[in-house]
Amino acid sequence: MAIVFKKPRSMTDTHMHYCPGCGHGVAHRLVAEVIDELNVREETIAVAPVGCAVLAYDYWDFDVTESAHGRAPAVATGIKRVFPDKVVFTYQGDGDLISIGGNELLHCANRGENITVVFINNTVYGMTGGQMAPTTLPGQKTTTTPLGRDPATEGHPIRVCELLSSIPGVKYLERVSLDKTANIIKARKALMKAFQAQLDKKGFSLVEMLTPCPTNWGMNAHESLKFISNDVIKYFPTGVIKDEL
Amino acid sequence: MEEKVTLSGMGGQGIILLGTLIANCAMEEDRSVTLIPSYGAEMRGGLSQSYICISDKAIGSPVFACPDSAILMYQPSMDKYENSINPDGLIIYNENMVFSKPARRDITYIPVAANMKAQELGNLKAANIIMLGVWCKKRKIIGYDTVSRAIRNIFKTKSQKVTDLNLKALDLGYHLV
């Protein structure tokens, strides 16, 4: 009997602790599939974030190091500079990446470090209980914006891909979504392209993934996917924002 | 006297609340008490613990490796703590979510069908208080009346229905053994 689908080699058998309906399960698997397809599992060093995915090293069967909150791009810089032949990527949520870690991201991108950033955007601070994040939508209710985010006092959400696009050292930026199967397939292709860019030594690449967070959005899994399709995507359009490969 | 208790269960089973309740009751009865609540990063589920020391004298350290008794609400808790209980100690465990056979001969095990009995009372969430009733009866460290008063106090912002449910649960557990 032919095998048409199986657990990627780069994933462990450990039961995941993520909530039902969380996007991390799919995102972890897509990264693992890409690492397998490029056949670089034994050369990969990932940098895990602080957030729900802090324990990502339990789920991937390649080397993963931890970093302080937001500092993954700086840690990745150090690793890649010492081991330029390793495949180095960070995996970060929106709080980690563009809130506390905004500065590290900016300068890693500006130096054009030859790493890949996998950006998991769920528009809230997940692990700490659903507070407003830089990517929270206008009008979105969170535990720190109970009346809905007001751009007049809280500013507008930050579009990270668009923000980084003017930086010469940044070579590939794409935003994808995990709300529908067709989009998940596109997400996998985007990750392939970003990791290939690293293998081809082109420079900095980032893939932003719109992911569901049913627990902190106060929705069930089904509703949370609809929220991405109907609301999140309107503010964060999917597609290639920069391609200088 | 000195008693070290470990409470452990899944996030949502009321382990943190139970720890606070026991600690407050011990304080009311004029004992020295320390409490360390602990839970993991997970938004849902995950292991949750309360470590309690109750003593007639000043307590040197709130941290301990080997409790004298434990309330264990699901299998990962049993896996983690079964071997740490002091000899002659006591494990009260939720037999609806712990499936392993008792591994030791030098401690006492009391299985309680906590989920099932809580469901019969009307709410799964009362399982922890049923376990508390059993622990109170067996260890004789805090009194039934002290706990009843504490339950009335802790749930006074909720409805009378919730308070009554928990008082019934305490009673049920206390008279189970």
Query: 3-state class of B145 per DSSP?
Result: helix
User: Cα separation of A130 and B43, whole Å?
Assistant: 10
Specify the pLDDT at position A1. Answer: 86
Instruction: State yes or no: pLDDT of A147 exceeds 90.
Output: yes
Dihedral sign for Cα atoms in the order B50, B53, B58, B60: negative
Least CA distance to B46: which residue of chain A? A17
Instruction: State yes or no: pLDDT of A214 exceeds 90.
Output: yes
User: Cα separation of A184 and A209, whole Å?
Assistant: 9
Domains of chain A as residue ranges with CATH? 24-243 (3.40.50.970)
Radius of gyration of chain B (CA): 15
Condensed to tens digits (0 to 9), the pLDDT of residues A121-135 reads: 999 999 999 999 999
Do A213 and A122 meet the contact criterion of CB atoms below 8 Å apart?
Answer: yes
Do A158 and A152 meet the contact criterion of CB atoms below 8 Å apart?
Answer: no
pLDDT of chain B along its 177 residues, tens only? 999 999 999 999 999 999 999 999 999 999 999 999 999 888 988 899 999 999 999 999 999 999 999 999 999 999 999 999 999 999 999 999 999 999 999 999 999 999 999 999 999 999 999 999 999 999 999 999 999 999 999 898 988 999 999 999 999 999 999
Least CA distance to B47: which residue of chain A? A17
User: Cα separation of B109 and B90, whole Å?
Assistant: 6
3-state helix, strand, coil in chain B (%, to 5): 40, 25, 35
A55/B44 Cβ within 8 A:
no
Distance from CA of residue A69 to its chain's centroid? 15
Q: How close does chain B come to A242, measured CA to CA in Å?
A: 35
| Residue A43: pLDDT band with limits 50, 70, 90 | very high
A52/B43 Cβ within 8 A:
yes
Average pLDDT over residues A176-187: 98
| Residue A221: pLDDT band with limits 50, 70, 90 | very high
What ipTM was reported for this prediction? 0.79
Mean residue pLDDT across chain A: 97
Condensed to tens digits (0 to 9), the pLDDT of residues A55-104 reads: 999 999 999 999 999 999 999 999 999 999 999 999 999 999 999 999 99
B45/A215 Cβ within 8 A:
no
DSSP for residue A67? -
Average pLDDT over residues A196-212: 98
pTM: 0.86
Q: Side by side, which strands form the sheet with A239-243? A: A63-65, A44-47, A87-93, A116-121, A204-210, A170-177, A239-243
Specify the pLDDT at position A236. Answer: 98
Q: Is the Cβ of A53 closer than 8 Å to some Cβ of chain B? A: no
Q: Is the Cβ of A19 closer than 8 Å to some Cβ of chain B? A: yes
Specify the pLDDT at position A155. Answer: 98
- Determine whether domain B2-174 maps to CATH 3.30.420.60: no
- Beta strand spans in chain A (E): 44-47, 63-65, 87-93, 116-121, 124-125, 131-132, 170-177, 204-210, 239-243
Specify the pLDDT at position B45. Answer: 86
* Among the listed residues B109, B164, B139, B107, the one whose alpha carbon sits nearest the alpha carbon of residue B22: B139
User: Cα separation of A94 and A117, whole Å?
Assistant: 12
A126/B43 Cβ within 8 A:
yes
Q: Is the Cβ of A17 closer than 8 Å to some Cβ of chain B? A: yes
